[in-house]
Structure 1
Amino acid sequence: MAKVLCVLYDDPVDGYPTTYARDDIPVITRYPGGQTAPTPEAVDFTPGQLLGSVSGALGLRDWLEANGHTLVVTSDKDGENSVFERELPDADIVISQPFWPAYLTAERIAKARNLKLVVTAGIGSDHTDLDAAVAHGLTVAEVTFSNSISVAEHVVMMILSLVRNYLPSHQWVLDGGWNIADCVARSYDLEGMHVGTVAAGRIGLAVLRRLAPFDVVLHYTDRHRLPEEVERGLNLTWHASAQDMVPHCDVVTVNAPLHPETEGLFDDKLISTMKRGTYLINTARAKIADRDAVDRALRSGQLAGYAGDVWFPQPAPADHPWRTMPHHGMTPHISGSSLSAQARYAAGTREILECFLAGRPVREEYLIVDKGALAGTGAHSYSVNK
């Protein structure tokens, strides 16, 4: 029998929901490109419920405990005296979400003597030290594509909110005002702007597809160039690097995984090459952008706005400068954790567990590390140092 240690974010401040805004959610069975949505043998939750918080437990508790496994769920994940730290040494499986990540460092992996499987409930496994996972022969898996469209929708929302100056305008309403001049003094049309994405994988390409009807000029950079028919169909301009692309853009969105090539990419030097007044959106990973360089660029006017929902560390401390810098549209890391997305990544987590506990192969597209090497999606998206 396995001990499963699951790290999830806290319940709502008013308690776990007893009712929801909607009675159902659309059923998604297949993603763009043909990959099927998760297909576990069964689920013990109602799609549309809050599953990503502690009480939701990803809908896993009844099933795991009925089969003799131990499930420990906590939000207490940081520090030597955290529940996560205390429960880790004899855990067989660790599950966490990118929104509230259990940082599995090399030191933590070394002390987890029973650890065999690490699951990201969602997408993005950079909170696990992949070099250490390879060295210890772990399996690392994530629910690929489960919330990619959720994030892409969030990106489009953030682009429009910055360009149209939505958040400050809404604040005037909340404050009882009708200050039209103040609202429109920083409001522009997206139409005709040049928009570029750093990376055009599942999320980046979905962003490009959703922006095309806005009659913008689309750019992208990616180490894997898109097929010619895709470039032609969306009228895309490909650039060999972010450095080549960003001077041409009015809006830049970051949709790349965090790895040595992207860490710190948007620093003072790169931002200085962008048009004055560019909008930068980052829903990928916070460390792709230099924290203080972003703050400086907003205060100087080099950037007209910055929005995203990724921070480092997560949760972000109260004095994090991104909370108070001007012209930002930051949210907590929520872009991929809508109730719709939770139904898919919870189902995918169960599918991974069903396969692993029964000794069956985990879907290739879910694998990041397998048998001591990058595998599946991991081989496409990440790199390790050996």
Structure 2
Amino acid sequence: MAKILAVLYPDPVGGYPPDYARDEIPAIAGYPGGQTTPTPHTIDFTPGQLLGCVSGELGLRRFLEDRGDTYVVTSDKEAPDSTLDRELPDADVVISQPFWPAYLTPERIASAPRLRLAITAGIGSDHVDLPSAIAHGMTVAEVTYSNSISVSEHAVMQILTLVHNYMPAHDWVTAKKGWNIADSVSRAYDLEGMDVGVLGSGRIGQAVLRRLAPFDVTLHYSDMHRLPKEVEEELRLTWHPDARSLASSVDVLSIHTPLHPQTQNLFDEDLIGSMKRGSYIVNTARALIVDRDAVVRALNSGQLAGYAGDVWYPQPPPPDHPWRTMPYEAMTPHVSGSTLSAQARYAAGTREILECWFDGRPIRPEYLIVDGGGLAGTGARSYTVAG
């Protein structure tokens, strides 16, 4: 029997379960491009429930305990002698989420001789040290596409929030109890007619491009894998060979590339300085793709008109993290990919991966990041490993 360790975010402050706003969520059977949604044998939860927190347990406890497995669920992952560190040495499987990542460092992987499978309940496995996972003979998997549309909708929302100066306007009528229209509109613009760029045209990036096309903007993108000509023509896209060409050409830039050695700190002082004065950056990918302090300086100097993000480093960030207090921001905690709609899919996908693992069946290639001693499946397309 196996020991499965899940590191999930804490329960709601008001207790679990919450009062749900809706009685049901739409049933989604497939994604653009033909990939089906997760197909486990069955599920032990109601779609639309809060599954990603500790008490939600990703809906897995009955399944695992009926098998005779040990299932440990915790949110304690950072403090000295954390539950994660105490339970990891004899764990066979670790489940984590990008929103509350269990950072599987080289040291943690080395401390877990039985660890053979790391699952990301969601998308993005950069919290796993992939070279160490490869050396350890592990499989790393994630539930690809489970929350891609969720993140793309959030990114479009944050673009509009920044350009229309929504946050300060909302603050005037709530926290300040005022009606200061001049102050609210003095930094507000229309998105129409702007040049908008997407860095990374994978599933999320393409979904953002498609959702922005009706806004009558000029769309740009850059990716190491150029899109088919028919897609470029359909969306009237301008392709750029690198991030610098893209960044210097647009008014709004939305980041959707994975974090790996070639993208870490990509948006430093120099690259941000190459952008038009008054540009906007939205980052729903990974915080370490941008230089934290360079963003703050650019907002203070006016080089950037706004920065919105859904990702931080570390997660959760400390109380004194400068992005909490910088001007012209529209920051959220890492929630874009953890809507109740997305949770139903990534919980089902986690179960599908576990069923395949336990049964000795192949895991879908689109879910694989590391397998067989190297990058595999989606991982081979999306990640690089420093040699």
Give the TM-score band, short-chain normalised. over 0.9
What CA deviation, in whole Å up to 9, does each residue of 1:185-214 have, x standing for no partner? Answer: 010000000000111000001000000000
Paired position in structure 1 for 2:149: 149
1:18 is displaced (CA, Å) by 4.6
Asked whether 1:375 is paired with 2:350, we answer: no
Paired position in structure 2 for 1:123: 123
**1:360 alignment partner AA:** R
User: How do 1:325-336 and structure 2 match up within 5 A?
Assistant: 325-336=326-337
Cα distance in 2 for residues equivalent to 1:116 and 1:29: 30
Question: Are the counterparts in 1 of residues 258 and 286 from structure 2 also a CA contact under 8 Å?
Answer: yes
Structure 1 range deviating more: 168-177 or 354-363: 168-177
Paired position in structure 1 for 2:352: 351
**1:6 alignment partner AA:** A
Paired position in structure 2 for 1:240: 241
What CA deviation, in whole Å up to 9, does each residue of 1:328-373 have, x standing for no partner? Answer: 0000000100000000000000000001011111111100001111
What CA deviation, in whole Å up to 9, does each residue of 1:206-240 have, x standing for no partner? Answer: 00000000000000000000000000000000000
**1:24 alignment partner AA:** E
**2:226 alignment partner AA:** R
Cα distance in 2 for residues equivalent to 1:332 and 1:246: 25
User: How do 1:48-63 and structure 2 match up within 5 A?
Assistant: 48-63=48-63
What CA deviation, in whole Å up to 9, does each residue of 1:285-308 have, x standing for no partner? Answer: 000000000000000000000001
Cα distance in 1 for residues equivalent to 2:50 and 2:67: 24
Paired position in structure 2 for 1:134: 134
Question: Are the counterparts in 2 of residues 79 and 85 from structure 1 also a CA contact under 8 Å?
Answer: no
Paired position in structure 2 for 1:186: 187
Paired position in structure 2 for 1:86: 86
What CA deviation, in whole Å up to 9, does each residue of 1:247-273 have, x standing for no partner? Answer: 110000100000111000100000111
SS in 1 for 2:38: coil
SS in 2 for 1:72: strand
Cα distance in 2 for residues equivalent to 1:80 and 1:3: 22
Question: Are the counterparts in 1 of residues 261 and 386 from structure 2 also a CA contact under 8 Å?
Answer: no
Q: 1:252 to 1:18 in 2, by over 3 A?
A: closer
Cα distance in 2 for residues equivalent to 1:371 and 1:234: 38
Cα distance in 2 for residues equivalent to 1:72 and 1:343: 20
Paired position in structure 2 for 1:279: 280
Cα distance in 2 for residues equivalent to 1:237 and 1:79: 47
In the alignment, structure 1 segments of 5+ residues that lack a partner are: none
Cα distance in 2 for residues equivalent to 1:364 and 1:280: 32
Paired position in structure 2 for 1:9: 9
**1:137 alignment partner AA:** G
Paired position in structure 2 for 1:324: 325
Cα distance in 1 for residues equivalent to 2:163 and 2:43: 41
1:20 is displaced (CA, Å) by 0.5
Cα distance in 2 for residues equivalent to 1:243 and 1:275: 12
Cα distance in 1 for residues equivalent to 2:87 and 2:31: 36
Cα distance in 2 for residues equivalent to 1:239 and 1:259: 20
What CA deviation, in whole Å up to 9, does each residue of 1:139-160 have, x standing for no partner? Answer: 0000000000000000000000
Question: Are the counterparts in 2 of residues 7 and 77 from structure 1 also a CA contact under 8 Å?
Answer: yes
Cα distance in 2 for residues equivalent to 1:327 and 1:31: 35
Paired position in structure 2 for 1:366: 367
SS in 2 for 1:195: strand
Q: Give the aligned CA root-mean-square deviation in angstroms.
A: 0.7
1:80 is displaced (CA, Å) by 3.4
Asked whether 1:70 is paired with 2:70, we answer: yes
Percent identity for Structure 1 against Structure 2: 70
SS in 2 for 1:248: coil
Cα distance in 2 for residues equivalent to 1:173 and 1:361: 55
Question: Are the counterparts in 1 of residues 12 and 18 from structure 2 also a CA contact under 8 Å?
Answer: no
What CA deviation, in whole Å up to 9, does each residue of 1:91-127 have, x standing for no partner? Answer: 0000000000000011110110110100000000000
SS in 1 for 2:248: helix
SS in 1 for 2:318: coil
Count of residue pairs the alignment pairs up? 386
Cα distance in 2 for residues equivalent to 1:185 and 1:365: 46
What CA deviation, in whole Å up to 9, does each residue of 1:32-62 have, x standing for no partner? Answer: 1110000000100000000000000000011
Q: 1:18 to 1:337 in 2, by over 3 A?
A: closer
1:19 is displaced (CA, Å) by 2.8
**2:48 alignment partner AA:** G
Paired position in structure 2 for 1:37: 37
SS in 1 for 2:65: helix
Cα distance in 1 for residues equivalent to 2:227 and 2:268: 27
**2:272 alignment partner AA:** I
1:245 is displaced (CA, Å) by 1.1
**2:63 alignment partner AA:** W
SS in 1 for 2:34: coil
Deviation >4 Å, runs of 4+: none
Cα distance in 2 for residues equivalent to 1:4 and 1:17: 23
Structure 1 range deviating more: 5-14 or 74-83: 74-83
